[in-house]
Amino acid sequence: MPIRSGIQAPDFSLPDESNTPRRLSDFLGRPVVLYFYPKDDTTGCTTEACGFRDDYSAYVNADLVVLGVSPDSLNRMPNSRKNTPCHFHSCG
């Protein structure tokens, strides 16, 4: 289901790849690109993450925050980060 740009998401708190709690409200006042992916280290999700990684400087230049959200356990995330290093936070 597509969601229109500019729709305000409800606040949430999830641990990131280093087990640091990240709240959406931590980025209040800044535009956030919030994307969801079903599983770390899979072909489709890695391709999606690489797209954000490869265009990361454009997001930074536009003062956008990129957050990836996955239902995976935190145990999977560090391995995924080794295989696909990213400059943004993944939460799960």
Which is nearest to 41 in space by CA: 89, 71, 75, 83? 83
Q: Catalytic: 91?
A: no
The catalytic residues are 45
